[in-house]
Every structure is written in structure tokens, then in C-alpha cells.
Amino acid sequence: MDTIKEAPCWLTFLPGELPQTSAPEETARWELAHAGARCPLRVDEAMGDAFEIGEDGAITGGRTGVLYGAYRLLMARAAKEPLPRGVQRPRYALRMLNCWDNAEGDIERGYSGRSLFFEGGRFAYDPARMRTLGRMLASVGVNVLCVNNVNVLGPAWRLIEDGLPELARLADIFRAFGVRLMVSIDFAQPLRHGIPTADPLDERVQRWWAEQTDKVYAAIPDLAGYLVKADSEHRPGPFAYGRDHADGANMLARALAPHGGALVWRCFVYNCQQDWRDRKTDRPMAAYTHYAPLDGRFDENVILQVKHGPFDFQVREPVSPLLLAMKQTRMAVEFQLAQEYTGHQIDLYAMPPMWREVFDDMGAERVQAIAAVGNLGRDENYTGHPFAAANLFSYGLFAWDPDAEPRALLSLWGRLTYPNFSEREQRSLCDMLMESRAIYEQYTAPLGLCWMVCRDGHYGPGPDDYEYAAWGTYHRADRDGVGIDRTASGTGYLMQYPDWLRERYEDAARCPDALKLFFHRMRYDDVLSDGRTLIQRIYDDHFEGVERAEAMAKTLRALPLPSPDREVALERMERQLANAREWRDQVNAFFHRYSGAPDAHGRPLY
């Protein structure tokens, strides 16, 4: 019998033993019985993922529904929370986790060790850890797991060919937890099979995909579908053949349709070979420009997956205008749990407050599915920093119910993960997580500016690293000011928004400070809404960000974290503090050298 050997993260409410079941409703029975909960289960297949917990504790639901109901009941008990009443139904049918794992075992933007799934070009996993992961995902309602990187590198392209038996074995493990697998595919795959083209309108290409997809579904009948990154950062795609992305996506969608599979097509398309001297091309405009005109042309089983902001998971971005533009297309919003630009799971950065903002601006009804890039790896605690698990946990519950309040999610995670904490300690943990993003933002890139990060690895400051690069990522700081005018008189990006959002940002004086430099170019002596000059605000934020990080470290040291979480969290906090000071001093020095402005409080500027 497999047992959990490692730290169980938020799964403290379940026994150490792991279920050896093969279907979700069996897993539900097993978990309830082993947790000593005598709750009758009634499976009503028509309910699908939905469940209802009756007054008597009986759980009624679909085959996956009863499993979600069982976990919710056990979690509520452990956290001493009231049980959810009435029928609980997820907002989205597809609640996806995209792992960027490469077949060689490394992970693109992975900060928790090597891959949980692959090593040396093949599957290599610990079945007990897979079950634990299945439990983690099911306990918060995540139901689709894409195991390989969207950049399909090296042997990963064989996953849908001779890798199928292994993929099917993995699918069996996750099926017991109601989690369906998905694979990232390479658009140019037919070229490896003697077909001289990958043109989506070529019959040979269409036939190859249809036949190969039949083989895939013969091995894994419930595969959730394919995930595709095409014509993006040097990945192959339909542009090479003069076709557009509706042609490309629909071709694959038609191969999947007979099997009920979804074709998830990422919209991260922009010119990554821009000349920095070119002031007309504005990268945030790219996704909307490419896709908005295609609205209405995608097949029913195509889902366009759009990053939540128009750039690339920067510390703060406005909502992507593409998410508000396509009314006749199924869309998914994409978040990134992996802390690529947000501290590498060394610095604390709890994401629910950011998701809340995105959803408040976008409206949950604008998307039909939700995805997040994973933050998992082979580290003992799965997420590198034990607190980074709060992002995975909250993501699942948020994908189920995007009306969820960030504090409620983080506080539930805290109570399940550290049941030994007093109420006061729980509160200080939750407060710390709730303000972690604002703190990170203060000591890194100011006021929505973006791209001041170190180019090599994306951790730590590099204020000019992206300024003369080909990635379309410029802040254009000079001796007078900083930022890009993205209004109608500038690049025109703002015109991609519906009126109500355009109006919020259009007038530099009224644009919220948090995004001021995203939308406007400002002089260092321009005055912000709180009466401070821009340059003084930049200095103040950076000094204050470090002070608040130091206060956070103090709070952390006082918490009775169990081992090994304590050692890991304290060691990472020291690195966060060093990082924060480096950001503060480099960014302040950068702007001081350009502006020549002293700090009003006489603090050191180097």
C-alpha cells in the first residue's frame, strides 16, 4: 500500500494511506471511509461534476461530483467551516493545469525541482506521488492536467505516438481522481512523417492528424484534448503556409471532434523579433490584432486560451483586451502559478487578489474555461516554497467558483495546511499572504511599468535588460520621464478596450496609479494622485517595499511552522530580503541617474 512519505501540504485532512481505486466514485467512498466519515453516497451520473451535501451528510452527485463533495465535506470539517448548502456546480467545465515539463526532466520556468513526470526523455514517476497529486488536484476541483510543455521539445513530440502506452498508464492513475490528461502537440508533427508540409488546408495533413488522433483516443478515450502554442516564439504554425489561426485550430479541432476532445489554442502571439527603434509596434496590441478579426470562425470545440494580461505575466498588467473582444468564440483565461516574473517561489506572492481584479474587470461570463501554468516539481513539498501551494490550492477553488474571495481561499489553505496554528497565527499568516503581492510590486517594477526584470532567468532587477532587446518590451526611460503613451495619441492600444475600461485609463490624471506607467508616459516631476511626484513615489515605494518585506520576515519567524516547512520558508525569506534590497537599490539608482532628483528624505541612492 502506498503511503505519503513527504509533507502532505494541505492534505492534512486525509489519512496518510493512499486510495488504490480506479474510478472517482470509488475514490470518494474510500476517502470517506478512511477518514471515518459515515456519509452515504448517491451517484446520479447526470449531475457530472456537481454535488449536493444533504442535511444528513449524504452526498449526491455525478461520478466526479461525489468525489468533489467528499473532499469538500472533509475539508470543511477539518477547517471547522460550515458545509456548502444546495447544489454546488463548478462555473467552468474545464479547470486546467498546464505543466511546462520537458521530456528530458527539466521544467520551463519551473522552480520546484525537476519534473514529476519525466526524466531522460521518458516517463519516470513515483506512482504514490501521482496519487497524491491526483488527490491535491481533485480536492480543489482541478480536472484537466496537461503534462508537457507548450514548447514541445525533443522527445516530447512522441507522446502522442510511441509514448501512448505510457501516457495511458498515467491517465489510469489520474482517472481515479476525475482528472483527465491533455497533451501539448507540435503543429509541425506531420513533417516528421514524410509529409512535406504542415499546411492545415492540405488533405494529407488533415488525414494524418485525424488518423493519429484516432490512435490517441483508442489508447486514452477520455483525453481532454490538445494544447497548442503556434506561431509564437519560434514555434511552428499556420502562418508559415499563409493560413490564419482559425484554419490551424479548426483543422486540429476536426480531428478531435469525433472523440469529444477540446482543441485549446494559445493566443500568445506577437513579434519577438522587434527592432527597439520601432516605436509604432506595441507588443500588448498583438493578441487582439491577430485574433479579434477571427471571431466567429472557430469550431465549437476550439477554446482560445489567453494570458490574463496583454504582455506576459508581469507583476501588474491590465486585463487583456482580447478577453473582452471575442463574443462568438469559446475562451479560456490563463494564469501562471509558476512565479516566473513574480519571485520564483522564493519571494512570497499570493495570487488570488490578482485573479480577483482580473475577474472583476473581465466578468466570469467572458470565458468558458480556465487554465493555469503549474508550479509543481519534484521538490518534497511539490511547490518549492511551502506557501506557493496556496496558489495551487486557491486556483482550483477559484476555477470552481470565480466569485470566491481571496482571503477566504488563503485562510482555508492556511487552516488545512497548519492545523497547529492558533487563530491569531492563522490571521497573521493570512495577512502576510494577502499583502505579499503588493509588497513584491513595491520593491520591483513601479506603477505598472513592467519589464525591469533581469533578462537572464527573470529573477532580480535588470532595469535596462529588455530595453534594447527584440521582445517588444520597452519602458523608454530617459532624463525627463518614463513610460509609453498607449492612448489614442500614442500607440492606440487603449482603443482595443470597451469604453468603460478605456475611460478608466485614458486620462493620465485620473488613471489609477497602479497602472499609470502602463498607459502613460510621465515626467519625473509629474504629480500623482497622492500629491507626490513620480520620482519621489518610485523612491518611496522601493524603500517601503523593503521595509514591509522585513516586517513580513519578522512575522514569519514568529510562526510555529512545522519542520521542514520552517527551514525552507526561513531560508527563502532571507533570499527574498536580499532580492528586495537589490531591486530597491538598482531601480532607485537607475531612476536617480536619469533624473538627477534627490530623495526628499535623504535616503541613500547609489
Catalytic positions, please?
A: 233, 312, 340
Element (H, E) at 505: helix 499-506
List residues bridging with 264 in a β-sheet: 227, 303
CB 345 → ligand GCU: shortest distance, Å?
A: 15
**3-class secondary structure, 439:** helix
Size of the site for ligand GCU (CB under 6 A): 9
- Which residue number, 29 or 475, has a Cβ lying nearer to ligand GCU? 475
How far apart are CB 74 and ligand GCU at their closest, in Å? Answer: 35
Closest of 377, 95, 108, 96 to residue 235, by C-alpha: 108
> Do 377 and 114 meet the contact criterion of CB atoms below 8 Å apart?
yes
Q: Which is nearer to ligand GCU, 71 or 291 (CB)?
A: 291
Query: Counting every residue, how long is the chain?
Result: 606
The distance of closest approach from Cβ of residue 337 to ligand GCU in the complex, given in angstroms and rounded to an integer, is 13
| Residues whose CB falls within 8 Å of the CB of residue 225, separated by 6 or more in sequence, listed in order | 182, 256, 261, 262, 263, 264, 301
If one asks whether residue 229 binds ligand GCU (CB under 6 A), the answer comes out as: yes
Min CB(265)–ligand GCU separation in Å = 12
What's phi and psi for 497, nearest 5 deg?
A: -90, 155
Query: Does an H or E element contain 394, and which?
Result: helix 389-400
Q: Which is nearer to ligand GCU, 349 or 524 (CB)?
A: 349
b/e 131-161 (16+ beta carbons within 10 angstroms → b): bbbbbbbbbbbbbbbbbbbbbbeebbbbbbe
43, 146, 150, 371: which one binds ligand GCU (CB under 6 A): 150
47 Cβ contact list (under 8 Å, min separation 6): 60, 61, 62, 65, 87
Task: Name residue, grid cell 513527504.
Answer: 6
| 72, 91, 109, 548: residue in contact with ligand GCU (rule CB under 6 A) | 109
Parallel, antiparallel, or unpaired: how do β-strands 122-123 and 118-119 relate? antiparallel
Task: Give me the DSSP letters along 96-118.
Answer: EEE--B-TTS-BTT--SSS-SSE
Measured from the CB atom, the residue of 282 and 312 that comes closer to ligand GCU is: 312
3-state DSSP assignment of residue 332? strand
Give the angle 125-130-134 at the CA atoms, nearest 5°: 160
Nearest to 536 by CA among 515, 513, 509, 518: 513
Beta carbon nearer to ligand GCU, 473 or 588: 473
Specify the residue, 231 or 312, whose C-beta has the smaller distance to ligand GCU.
Answer: 312
In whole angstroms, the minimum distance from the beta carbon of 590 to ligand GCU comes to 23
Residue from 12, 151, 197, 289 touching ligand GCU (CB under 6 A): that is: 151
Q: Please state the separation of Cα 595 from the chain's center in Å.
A: 36
Of 511, 443, 449, 528, the residue nearest 482 (C-alpha): 449
- Rounded least distance, CB 592 to ligand GCU, Å: 30
> Site for ligand GCU (CB under 6 A): which residue of 312, 317, 379, 540?
312
> Smaller CB distance to ligand GCU: residue 335 or 418?
335
How near is the Cβ of 39 to ligand GCU at its closest, in Å?
42
Shortest reach from residue 444's CB to ligand GCU, in Å: 16
- Compute the distance between CA of residue 335 and CA of residue 105 in angstroms, rounded to an integer: 23
| CB of 341 or CB of 421, closer to ligand GCU | 341
Give the Cα separation of 240 and 202 in Å (integer): 13
User: Which residue shows C-alpha cell 519534484?
Assistant: 378
Q: What residues pair up with 331 in beta bridges, in sequence order?
A: 304
Say if CB 42 and CB 58 are below 8 A apart: yes
Nearest to ligand GCU of 152, 397 (CB atom): 152
Residues numbered 230-249 forming contacts with ligand GCU, rule: CB under 6 A: 233
Judge whether 413 and 390 are in contact, CB under 8 Å: yes
Name the region of 348 (left: φ>0; alpha: ψ -120 to 50; beta: rest): beta
Task: Provide, rounded to whole angstroms, the least separation between the CB of residue 235 and ligand GCU.
Answer: 8
φ and ψ at residue 586, rounded to 5 degrees: -75, -45
Residue 108 or 425 having the CB closest to ligand GCU: 108
Residue 108 is a binding residue for ligand GCU (CB under 6 A): yes
Q: Measured from the CB of residue 453, what is the shortest distance to ligand GCU in angstroms?
A: 11
CB of 313 to ligand GCU, least distance (A): 7
**DSSP secondary structure of 517-547:** HHH--EETT-B-TTS-BHHHHHHHHHHHHHH
CA gap 112, 124 in Å, rounded: 17
Q: Which is nearer to ligand GCU, 268 or 413 (CB)?
A: 268
d(CA 278, CA 72) in angstroms, rounded, equals 53
Determine contact, residues 128/19, Cβ cutoff 8 Å.
no
Longest Cα pair distance anywhere in the chain, in angstroms? 72
Site for ligand GCU in 262-281 (CB under 6 A): 268
Residues found near ligand GCU in the complex (CB under 6 A)? 108-109, 150-151, 229, 233, 268, 312, 340
